[in-house]
Amino acid sequence: MINETFVADTPKEAYNEAVAKYGSSIKLVSAKQVKYEDGELRCEVSISVPEDIYMEKSFSEENSLEKEGVENSEEALLLEELAELKKQLALMKEDMLGSREESVLEKVKALFMQKGIAKKWLDEVSVSLLGNSILSDSKLLVSYILEEIDESLVVQEEFLDEPKIVMLVGPTGVGKTTTIAKLAARYAYMMEKPYKVALLNLDSYKVGAFDQLRQYADIMQIEHITVDSVEAFMRGLEALKAYDIILVDTAGMSPYDTQKFIKTVEYVRSDMPRKIEVNLLLAATVKYEDMDDIYNNFSFLDLNSVIISKFDETKHLGTLLNFMLLYKIPMSYFSIGQEVPDDLMVASKEYLLEQFIGDFDGE
């Protein structure tokens, strides 16, 4: 790695200049304010950059001259020698700095990245700290980043003051039917005010889905119907118009199953008699690339929130947390186990952060 210093009026401007020159491959080394001879305070930001990128960017002017053709051979030779000298000096500087301990910032960022938080998000947060004494104290820096995570997460409050339709969508195997049953029990029996709840099943693809949901409905003594077309869906909504909350279970589908997506869109965009909330059910166990695909393919359904399932099946929540930070979609509920109705809770930043931190050590 080669170190270089950029100077600007603010730390952010200096850092942005470095990014503009070298791209996102840079690492922040230090930042400080310096009083210049003209009496003005300026910010010096030192970064390190891979040697190959440094050589490519730093000597582009000499390279362009050579490409155009330098008529004077002595001048061409001088440019070549100068480039070689600069390269040797840069390598010497790298050797001298090689034994330097990694900065506090880089160590802390490495801890969070190891937990699954994206470098891009961490860089955006740390830029605002350039020149701040927090950067020299790992515990303070960890606390600051955790506070920024807390501030960035969005929770959708539970609002049941008006009749509505609540539809759950998501990939196969994520636990939609069980979560629907948990929500039904919560609304009907576990609130200060008991709500009149009905279940409407669209999942005609999955064998036994109707029977499973009907069993839950029978146990809770909740009205339950199933439909297989948009017309039947509209008739079902009309038949259930006296209910406070209609919970709609949809077919689980691959993010790439175009036929099922089109069918679900037809339901969502039909002429609803009341407000509909579309909630994406996402498993905490899914890897980030799949989360990304799932969200991008389901997002055109105008999602209101994410319900997160399978908290009990993993201890590593960095990938999930990183997804929530980058997309900023509200969280509404957490499914934390298999028991109906006990293992469902209103989404909580504190709970998610506690699960994420675990044995996190800022040293």
pLDDT tens per residue across span 187-238: 999 988 889 999 988 865 554 555 777 888 888 899 988 888 888 888 888 8
pLDDT over threshold 50, residue 94: no
Predicted pLDDT of residue 217 = 85
pLDDT over threshold 80, residue 241: yes
- Per the confidence metrics, is the pTM higher than 0.75? no
Buried-state track 214-246, b at ≥16 Cβ within 10 A, e below 16? eebbeebebebbbbeeeeebbebbeebeebbbb
**Token pair belonging to 204:** 């005609």
* Dihedral angle over CA of 228, 278, 208, 292, nearest 10: 120
pLDDT more than 90, % of the chain: 24
Omega before 341 cis (within 30°)? Answer: yes
pLDDT tens, residue by residue, 157-172: 998 889 999 999 888 8
**Token pair belonging to 234:** 């509209």
Q: Which residues contact 229 (CB under 8 A, 6 or more apart)?
A: none
- Phi first, then psi, for residue 218 (nearest 5°) are -65, -40
Q: How far is CA 327 from CA 141, 195, 240, 285, 330, in A?
A: 24, 32, 35, 18, 9
Predicted pLDDT of residue 362 = 42
Predicted pLDDT of residue 53 = 81
HSE-up of 341 (CA within 13 Å, CB side)? 19
pLDDT tens, residue by residue, 122-136: 988 888 787 778 888
DSSP 87-150: HHHHHHHHHHHTTSPPPHHHHHHHHHHHTT--HHHHHHHHHTTTT-GGGG-HHHHHHHHHHHHH
pLDDT tens, residue by residue, 11-45: 777 778 888 888 877 877 766 677 777 777 777 87
Residues 295/268, Cβ–Cβ less than 8 Å: no
Predicted pLDDT of residue 349 = 93
The overall average pLDDT reported for the chain is: 80
Residues 1/51, Cβ–Cβ less than 8 Å: yes
Q: Which residues contact 272 (CB under 8 A, 6 or more apart)?
A: 165, 237
pLDDT over threshold 90, residue 184: yes
pLDDT over threshold 60, residue 341: yes
Instruction: State how far Cα 269 lies from the chain centre.
Output: 27
pLDDT over threshold 90, residue 93: no
Residue with tokens 């109705």: 341
Q: Determine the Cα–Cα distance for residues 30 and 105; give it in Å rounded to an integer.
A: 9
Which of the four pLDDT bands, split at 50, 70 and 90, describes residue 297? Answer: confident
Query: CB under 8 Å, gap of 24 or more: what pairs does 257-263 form?
Result: 260/205, 261/297
Q: Which residues contact 186 (CB under 8 A, 6 or more apart)?
A: 341, 344
Residues 204/250, Cβ–Cβ less than 8 Å: no
Q: Identify each DSSP E strand in the chain by its residue range.
A: 2-8, 27-35, 41-49, 164-169, 197-201, 223-226, 245-249, 276-283, 305-309, 331-335, 344-346
Pick the closest to residue 282 from 273, 274, 291, 272 (CA basis): 291
For residue 197, count CB atoms less than 10 angstroms from its CB and return exposed for 0-12, middle for 13-18, buried for 19 or more.
Answer: buried
**More confident position, 82 or 71:** 82
- Phi first, then psi, for residue 341 (nearest 5°) are -105, 5
pLDDT more than 70, % of the chain: 78
pLDDT over threshold 60, residue 99: no
Which region among 56-65, 267-276, 309-318 has the lowest average model confidence (pLDDT)?
A: 56-65
Predicted pLDDT of residue 50 = 83
Which region among 61-70, 195-204, 295-304 has the lowest average model confidence (pLDDT)?
A: 61-70
Predicted pLDDT of residue 307 = 95
Which region among 45-59, 63-77, 175-189 has the lowest average model confidence (pLDDT)?
A: 63-77
Predicted pLDDT of residue 204 = 55
Pick the closest to residue 333 from 282, 293, 276 (CA basis): 282
